[in-house]
């Protein structure tokens, strides 16, 4: 295979807490790669290490064949890595369209008219086009989650990291999120997707990594992963945050 992202022995501790511990990751180009694990398993820390928001104690991150372990976040953004946050972070006083334009103009460095066209396309794909002029502050949760995805897409990523975008949504909304993520993948974007909602992790990913105490407990198809005894024991017993 031709991996878009790998990590070798990636390690980050906070005091005595091993948030991510000697983790080897191998994400194939074009796949939806799901990550589950109990609260505190190190999923968000892994994302922070990949984007460069925090530095590892040890190990490396290889993106597109290049060692990017110590590259700054903005550089990684320009290289094609984008993420969403568990708690959406829109610019509250800006409209939906303006929020997405920021990523395109500054994150991607595109001109205004090209950006506007691209952003409208992204809003259409994320189901937000009709709300383009709504102020972000006024949006209900589902729209904020979709805006979070739209903002990440606006930088034109080849690798999209999605951190618990389906949390707090109802089943129909989760299905819509699944559709959006599938459509993103159809365009050739690789998706790394952390989620607690089992239905989403059963249906979305090609492969599923189960993390526990910062390490890999299991990696395989979602069916294999969710059926494995050790995973049921540690994960399903302590599923919710």
User: By the criterion CB under 6 A, which residues form the site for ligand ADP?
Assistant: 14, 17, 19, 37, 39-45
Please state the closest distance from residue 169 (CB atom) to Mg ion, in A: 16
Output 19 or 136, the one with its CB closest to ligand ADP. 19
**CA 113 vs CA 88, 105, 118, 129: distances in Å:** 26, 10, 9, 17
**Which of ligand ADP, Mg ion, none does 196 bind, CB closer than 5 to 8 A by kind?**
none
Q: Which is nearer to Mg ion, 163 or 176 (by Cβ)?
A: 163
152, interface contact from ligand ADP, Mg ion, none, CB < 5-8 Å by kind: none
Distance of closest approach, residue 15 Cβ to ligand ADP, in angstroms: 7
Residue 154: contacted member of Mg ion, ligand ADP, none (CB under 5 to 8 Å, by partner type): none
**Residue pair 201/167 in contact by the 8 Å Cβ criterion:** no
**Shortest reach from residue 43's CB to ligand ADP, in Å:** 3
Residue ranges binding Mg ion (CB under 5 A): 43-44
- Minimum CB distance to ligand ADP, residue 39 (Å): 5
Rounded least distance, CB 131 to ligand ADP, Å: 29
Per-position DSSP letters for the chain, written without gaps between them: --EEEEEEEEEEEETTEEEEEEEEEEEETT-EEEEE-STTSSHHHHHHHHHTSS--SEEEEEETTEE-TT--HHHHHHHTEEE--SS----TTSBHHHHHHHIIIIIS---HHHHHHHHHHHHHHTT-GGGTTSBGGG--HHHHHHHHHHHHHTT--SEEEEES-STT--HHHHHHHHHHHHHHHHTT-EEEEE-S-HHHHHHS-SEEEEEETTEEEEEE-HHHHHH-HHHHHHTGGG---
Binder of residue 141, out of ligand ADP, Mg ion, none (CB less than 5 to 8 A by kind): none
Q: Measured from the CB atom, is 39 or 130 closer to ligand ADP?
A: 39
CB-based contact 34:25 (threshold 8 Å): no
Q: How far is the CB of 69 from ligand ADP (least distance, A)?
A: 18
84 binds, among Mg ion, ligand ADP, none (CB under 5 to 8 A by kind): none
d(CA 194, CA 175): 16
Q: With CB cut-offs between 5 and 8 Å by kind, which of Mg ion, ligand ADP, none does residue 112 bind?
A: none
Nearer to ligand ADP, 81 or 211 (CB): 211
CB of 14 or CB of 112, closer to ligand ADP: 14
Q: Which is nearer to ligand ADP, 54 or 94 (CB)?
A: 54
């Amino acid at each position: 295979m031709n991996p878009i992202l790998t990590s070798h022995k990636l390690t980050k501790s906070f005091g005595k807490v091993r948030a991510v511990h000697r983790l080897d990751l191998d994400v194939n180009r074009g796949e939806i790669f799901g990550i589950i694990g109990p609260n505190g398993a190190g999923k968000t820390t892994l994302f922070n290490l990949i984007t460069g928001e925090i530095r590892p104690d040890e190990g490396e991150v290889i993106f597109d064949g290049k060692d990017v372990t110590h590259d700054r976040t903005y550089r990684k953004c320009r290289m094609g890595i984008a993420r969403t946050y568990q708690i959406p972070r829109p610019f509250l006083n800006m409209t939906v369209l303006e929020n997405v334009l920021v990523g395109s103009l500054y994150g991607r460095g595109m001109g205004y008219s090209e950006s506007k066209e691209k952003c409208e396309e992204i809003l259409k794909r994320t189901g937000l086009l009709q709300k383009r002029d709504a102020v972000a502050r006024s949006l209900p949760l589902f729209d904020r989650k979709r805006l979070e995805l739209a903002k990440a897409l606006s930088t034109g990523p080849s690798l999209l990291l999605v951190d618990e975008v389906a949390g707090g949504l109802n089943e129909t909304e989760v299905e819509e999120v699944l559709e959006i993520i599938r459509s993103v993948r159809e365009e050739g974007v690789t998706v790394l997707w952390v989620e607690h909602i089992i239905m989403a992790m059963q249906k979305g990913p090609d492969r599923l990594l189960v993390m526990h105490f910062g390490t890999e407990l299991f990696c395989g198809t979602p069916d294999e992963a969710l059926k494995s005894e050790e995973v049921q024991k540690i994960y399903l017993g302590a599923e919710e945050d």
